[in-house]
């Protein structure tokens, strides 16, 4: 079973908190042990220095002879120093044998020796400290300090050691550990409550998005999520809402597309069925059959073009067409398209202007560009009045070639300009309803120009003209070579 974000957040917080408490606790304990040890060592060395000063006052540093009456007075002074400082003090001869001990039972230590390692280190370094038993002198661990005693000639006349029981440190560490465990438990409880509350607030927007996504799955694309909250969640909500908006547009476009397809297919099929039925049941007389068969042929051709355009759009938008860009003269394509439409141009007595080919190399797929020019020229011929004018223009600037096709006539209404490249869009008021059109040609032009790395747009003035522009990448100089022949089209 997968874990929720709330449980993951809780476990992560708990683990992080426990690790932090453990690291902090061990760090504090280590620092306290070091501090406590240094503090005790300083006190022990201070006690030893005070003892050596007393010995110097009594003249015991020259020769550690503790058998006379003066040594008794010194012993009392050392005992007093021991009680004030709380440290046990030991006087030893140069061999390390203990002569005096300021403890409750002096006999336990007199006659025993300080470890050779402690005396050697104290002689070399001037002092020696450790946390241990001083070579087995104590049964439990003590903080111990040792200093040598020198006479005026620089000869070692003995050693002074001071020690204090370290068991109080263990008690303190035990209490500190108990307090640490208790504090960790309380902090874990508080953090658990906070993590549950905070994680619930954190995942609430995600849950709302999940609910919205479920509604998307049910076909409701109108749902939106709030864009309030933290920066990351706000960005995610914006992306989510943009996705929802795009899905809604796609859904509307799909429904519109299906409706338009049904309408475009139904109209010619209804006409074909009506004429065929009329000929079969005798409604249409035999002498008129050729006329109506021509209409049926025309409607069949319209269906064929519609289905072909739909297949072309599907392939282009699915990325199935592989662009084969080459360097060639764009005027070759324009010339081929004009020659292919020559008969229609002459039938409407249309005048061509700007048709003065000057070699202009572009880097594009010649087949795609031909289809764009042919569609634009087909539209221009359809909506150009008899005796009107179609003007061509080709210009190159900053590595981009701009081609335009302009026709005189009614033009396109300003409110319709943003929609002319949409699927199945037809504009009646300014251009008239053309029965042979399907409303897919300009959309195909847009897709083809985008594939060629350019853009397409339209400008129009009602009652005067309509002009379509599209751009193509200019051919790099290294690829500009004369073409052999204009492209032939069927």
pLDDT (tens digit per residue) in 267-318: 678 878 888 888 888 888 888 888 888 888 877 876 786 677 667 666 666 6
Dihedral sign for Cα atoms in the order 205, 207, 209, 212: negative
All CATH 3.30.450.20 domain ranges of the chain, comma separated, are 5-171
CA angle 161–141–49, rounded 5-degree value:
20
Which of 3.40.50.300, 2.40.40.20, 3.30.565.10, 3.40.190.10 is the CATH number of 326-479?
3.30.565.10
Dihedral sign for Cα atoms in the order 210, 211, 213, 214: positive
249 or 432, which is more confident: 249
For the ranges 200-204, 209-213, 348-352, the maximum mean pLDDT occurs at 348-352
Using alpha carbons, select from 386, 374, 377 the residue that is nearest to residue 350: 386
Q: What whole-number percentage of the chain has pLDDT above 70?
A: 85
CATH architecture of 231-317: Orthogonal Bundle (1.10)
Q: What are 129's strand-pairing partners?
A: 145
CA distances from 203 to 2, 208, 243, 473, 482 (A): 16, 9, 20, 49, 65
CATH tag, 5-171: 3.30.450.20
pLDDT (tens digit per residue) in 111-152: 899 989 999 999 999 999 998 888 888 888 899 999 999 988
All CATH 1.10.287.130 domain ranges of the chain, comma separated, are 231-317
Give the chain as a 3 state SS string. Answer: CCCCHHHHHHHHHHHHHHHHHHHHHHHHHHHHHHHHHHHHHHHHHHHHHHHHHHHHHCCCCCCCCCCCHHHHHHHHHHHHHHHHHCCEEEEECCCCEEEEECCCCHHHCCCCECCHHHHHHHHHHCCEEEEECCCCCCCCCEEEEEEEEECCCCCEEEEEEEEEECHHHHHHHHHHHHHHHHHHHHHHHHHHHHHHHHHHHHHHHHHHHHHHHHHHHCCCCCCCCCCCCCHHHHHHHHHHHHHHHHHHHHHHHHHHHHHHHHHHHHHHHHHHHHHHHHHHCCCCCHHHHHHHHHHHHHHHHHHHHHHHHHHHHHHHHCCCCCCCCEEEEHHHHHHHHHHHCHHHHHHCCCEEECCCCCCCEEEECHHHHHHHHHHHHHHHHHHCCCCCEEEEEEEEECCEEEEEEEEECCCCCHHHHHHCCCCCCCCHHHHCCCCCCCCCHHHHHHHHHHHCCCCEEEEEECCCEEEEEEEEEECCHHHCCCCCCCCCCC
**pLDDT the model gives residue 391:** 95
412 and 430 Cβ atoms separated by less than 8 Å: yes
pLDDT (tens digit per residue) in 218-259: 777 777 877 776 677 788 888 888 888 887 777 776 776 666
Q: Is the pLDDT of residue 262 over 80?
A: no
| Mean of all residue pLDDT scores within the chain | 81
All CATH 3.30.565.10 domain ranges of the chain, comma separated, are 326-479
> For residue 74, what pLDDT band results from cuts at 50, 70 and 90?
confident
**pLDDT the model gives residue 229:** 67
**pLDDT the model gives residue 402:** 95
pLDDT (tens digit per residue) in 85-104: 888 999 998 988 988 888 87
**pLDDT the model gives residue 484:** 43
């Amino acid at each position: 079973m997968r874990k929720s974000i709330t449980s993951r957040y809780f476990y992560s917080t708990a683990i992080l908190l426990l690790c932090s408490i453990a690291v902090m606790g061990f760090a504090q304990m280590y620092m306290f042990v070091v501090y406590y040890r240094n503090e005790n060592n300083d006190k022990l060395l201070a006690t030893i220095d005070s003892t050596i000063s007393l010995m110097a006052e009594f003249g015991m540093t020259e020769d550690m002879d503790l058998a006379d009456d003066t040594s008794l007075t010194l012993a009392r002074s050392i005992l007093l120093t021991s009680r004030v400082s709380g440290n046990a003090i030991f006087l030893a001869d140069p061999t390390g044998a203990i002569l005096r001990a300021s403890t409750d039972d002096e006999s336990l230590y007199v006659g025993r020796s300080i470890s050779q390692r402690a005396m050697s280190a104290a002689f070399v370094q001037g002092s020696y400290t450790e946390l241990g038993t001083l070579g087995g002198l104590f049964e439990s661990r003590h903080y111990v300090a040792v200093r040598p005693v020198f006479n005026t000639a620089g000869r070692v006349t003995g050693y002074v050691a001071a020690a204090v029981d370290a068991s109080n440190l263990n008690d303190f560490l035990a209490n500190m550990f108990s307090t640490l465990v208790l504090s960790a438990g309380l902090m874990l409880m508080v953090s658990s409550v906070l993590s549950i509350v905070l994680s619930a607030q954190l995942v609430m927007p995600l849950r709302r998005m999940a609910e919205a996504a479920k509604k998307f799955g049910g076909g409701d694309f109108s749902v939106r999520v709030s864009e309030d909250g933290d920066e990351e969640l706000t960005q995610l909500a914006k992306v989510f809402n943009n996705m929802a908006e795009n899905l809604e547009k796609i859904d509307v476009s799909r429904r519109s597309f299906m409706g338009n397809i049904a309408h475009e297919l139904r109209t010619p099929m209804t006409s074909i069925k009506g004429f065929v039925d009329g000929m079969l049941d005798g409604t249409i007389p035999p002498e008129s059959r050729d006329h109506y068969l021509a209409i049926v042929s025309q409607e069949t051709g319209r269906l064929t073009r519609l289905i072909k355009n739909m297949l072309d759009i599907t392939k282009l938008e699915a990325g199935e067409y592989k662009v084969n860009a080459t360097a060639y003269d764009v005027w070759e394509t324009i010339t081929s398209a004009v020659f292919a439409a020559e008969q229609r141009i002459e039938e409407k007595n249309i005048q061509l202007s700007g048709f003065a080919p000057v070699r202009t190399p572009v880097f594009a797929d010649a087949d795609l560009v031909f289809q764009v020019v042919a569609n634009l020229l087909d539209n221009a011929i359809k909506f150009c009045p008899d005796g009107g004018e179609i003007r061509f223009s080709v210009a190159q600037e900053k590595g981009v070639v701009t081609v335009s096709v302009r026709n005189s006539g009614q033009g396109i209404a300003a409110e319709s300009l943003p929609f002319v490249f949409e699927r199945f869009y037809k504009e009646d008021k300014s251009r008239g309803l053309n029965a042979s059109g399907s409303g897919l040609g300009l959309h195909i032009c847009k897709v083809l120009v985008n594939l060629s790395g350019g853009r397409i747009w339209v400008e129009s003035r009602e009652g005067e003209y309509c002009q379509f522009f599209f751009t193509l990448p200019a051919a790099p100089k290294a690829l500009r070579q004369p073409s052999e022949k204009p492209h032939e089209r069927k």
